[in-house]
């Protein structure tokens, strides 16, 4: 009987040790499971953000952009969206000029669209711009010919060029009044 009691007592620590091993394995399994769940959730979120992105070009959505579809007054047929915002557009024909690059012949071609306030009626404004077009083309050709290749590269330089053209056109067209050209847009801006 003493041998049997010894054997039982020896089996008890083994059971306690195996219980410890089981609980450690159980803990480890729960930790691994939690890591896998967190990883999968993160991967799903990341892939959703990557592939589920709209065509905003990476621009964060603002409250204004979320409310675009909920305009209070719909645009009526026959009225363009430009007119409803108080502007109209004039397409300026392309201008080609040599860049200021010594030792190399480099050309720049720029075609512009002018965004003009409706304070200037589109019919009379178009006639006015057609009359002033030679002055504007001359200024734009000289301005572009004064640029170097480095001064025309990159978005910062393009914005500077847009701003300088906008200021000059407003000064040439409306010297003693409020500027009526709101923006200059590049339809084409190519360098060869």
Residues 45-102 have pLDDT tens digits of 554 554 554 444 444 444 344 444 444 444 344 444 544 468 999 999 999 999 998 8
Beta strand extents in the chain (DSSP E only) = 87-98, 107-117, 181-191
Which residue in 182, 87, 188, 93 sits closest to 136, CA to CA?
93
Greatest alpha-carbon pair distance for the chain in Å reads 123
Range from 64-78, 105-119, 176-190 carrying the lowest mean pLDDT: 64-78
Predicted pLDDT of residue 36: 72
Which residue would you say has higher pLDDT here, 33 or 1? 33
Which residue in 154, 167, 175 sits closest to 114, CA to CA?
167
Q: Write phi, then psi, for 154 (nearest 5 degrees).
A: 90, 155
Q: How many CB atoms lie within 10 A of CB 92?
A: 20
Which sign, positive or negative, has the C-alpha torsion 123, 127, 132, 133? positive
pLDDT band at 110 (very low <50, low <70, confident <90, very high): very high
Q: How many CB atoms lie within 10 A of CB 152?
A: 18
Which residue would you say has higher pLDDT here, 6 or 102? 102
- Kindly report the pTM of this predicted structure: 0.56
pLDDT band at 185 (very low <50, low <70, confident <90, very high): very high
- What value does the mean pLDDT of the chain take? 76
Assign 99 to helix, strand or coil: coil
Residues above pLDDT 90, as percent of the chain: 50
CB-based contact 108:97 (threshold 8 Å): yes
- The CATH homologous superfamily to which domain 81-191 belongs is Band 7 domain (3.30.479.30)
Cα separations (Å) of 143 from 17, 108, 151, 164? Answer: 87, 11, 12, 9
> Over 70: is that where the pLDDT of 134 sits?
yes
User: Distance (Å, rounded) from C-alpha 26 to C-alpha 114?
Assistant: 71
CB-based contact 161:86 (threshold 8 Å): no
CB-based contact 159:74 (threshold 8 Å): no
């Amino acid at each position: 009987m003493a041998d049997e009691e010894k054997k039982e007592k020896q089996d008890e620590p083994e059971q306690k040790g195996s219980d410890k091993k089981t609980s450690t394995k159980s803990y480890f399994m729960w930790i691994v499971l939690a890591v896998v769940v967190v990883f999968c959730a993160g991967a799903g979120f990341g892939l959703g953000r990557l592939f589920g992105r709209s065509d905003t070009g990476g621009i964060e959505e603002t409250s204004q952009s979320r409310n675009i579809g909920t305009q209070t007054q719909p645009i009526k047929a026959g009225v363009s969206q430009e007119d409803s915002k108080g502007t109209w557009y004039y397409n300026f024909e392309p201008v080609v000029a040599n860049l200021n690059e010594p030792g190399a012949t480099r050309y720049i071609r720029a075609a512009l669209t002018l965004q003009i306030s409706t304070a200037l009626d589109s019919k009379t404004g178009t006639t006015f711009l057609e009359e002033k077009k030679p002055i504007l083309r001359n200024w734009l050709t000289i301005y572009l010919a004064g640029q170097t290749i480095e001064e025309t590269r990159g978005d910062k330089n393009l914005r500077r060029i847009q701003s300088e053209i906008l200021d000059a056109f407003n000064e040439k067209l409306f010297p003693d009044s409020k500027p009526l050209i709101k923006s200059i847009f590049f339809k084409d801006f190519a360098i060869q």
